[in-house]
Amino acid sequence: MQKLPKIGLPVILLIVVVLIFISKSSINIGYGEAGVLFKTFGGGVVTDEPPLGEGFHIISPWNKVYIYNVKQQEFFEGNMQVLSSNGLEISLDVSVLYQPKYEELGLLHKTKGENYVNIVLIPQIRAVARSVVGRYTPEQLYSTKRDAIQNEIFEETLKNVDSQHIQVNAVLVRDVTLPLAIKEAIERKLGQEQESLEYEFRLEKAKQEAERQRIDAEGKATANRILSASLTDKILQEKGIEATIKLSESPNAKVIVIGSGKNGLPIILGNQ
């Protein structure tokens, strides 16, 4: 094989060095990611500057970039064993929606590192869930207090991790599992309470209907008394005369005898 010219080898070595330099000096940060710069000879983790954003970046080859996912993420903590206020064991399934605080990404890397979920979030959510659930009875957990528990876990977790450069967006209680015997007892009790409420509703409705009928009867009786008191002989005569006039104007064959009836009212002789 023909030997390379003396100048050829240095050129090849230079090209190789340049390629290595470029590969060590360039970094591409993808969608939804950010980079924390570590300066080997310049103080370590950079915390006083914004993180490196998406796209292509040139850095010194002796430095390093740690890439973080800064989009909203979820971790699921299933079958978490906690105790109710009366000491019964409850199983919770909880999801946490979170993301690192973008502007504090350098501080998060420096103080917690890339494993911050296991170091901060998971221990916090377990501790807070145990504390919150311990304030409630199994019946409250099963029926009326699910939303309250979820909100309390979220608020307390948010308060505990906010200063640790992590943003908690939501805590979702996916499921609450009680011991089977306790669940069946609660369901029986709830069924009995529902039946009692329905019975009370029917009684109240019957009372209301009886009251309505009483008021209606009293109204009719009062109206009849007022009507009876107002029907004097003169009013009756006037009404009788008005009725006689209307009948006399009808086309049916009849004979009207004026002043021959009771109290001087006309007598109407028809064809019936």
Q: Are 36 and 106 in contact (CB under 8 A)?
A: yes
In the chain, the percentage of residues whose pLDDT exceeds 70 is 65
- Is residue 153 within 8 A of residue 189, CB to CB? The reply is no
The span from the CA of 84 to the CA of 132, in Å, is: 9
In the predicted model, is pLDDT for residue 72 greater than 70? yes
Residue with tokens 């979920």: 117
Q: Are 59 and 35 in contact (CB under 8 A)?
A: no
Tens-digit pLDDT profile for residues 165-208: 999 999 998 888 876 666 566 656 665 666 666 767 777 787 88
pLDDT of residue 1: 45
Is the full-model pTM beyond 0.75?
A: no
Q: Which domains does the chain have, with CATH numbers?
A: 8-69 (no CATH), 73-178 (3.30.479.30), 233-270 (no CATH)
The C-alpha atoms of residue 124 and residue 161 are separated, in whole angstroms, by 8
DSSP per residue, 149-212 = HHHHHHHHHHHHHGGGTEEEEEEEEEEEE--HHHHHHHHHHHHHHHHHHHHHHHHHHHHHHHHH
Token couple for 186: 């609660």
- Asked whether the predicted pLDDT for residue 241 surpasses 80, the reply is no
Indicate the length of the chain as a whole number: 272
Helix (H) or strand (E) holding 68: strand 64-69
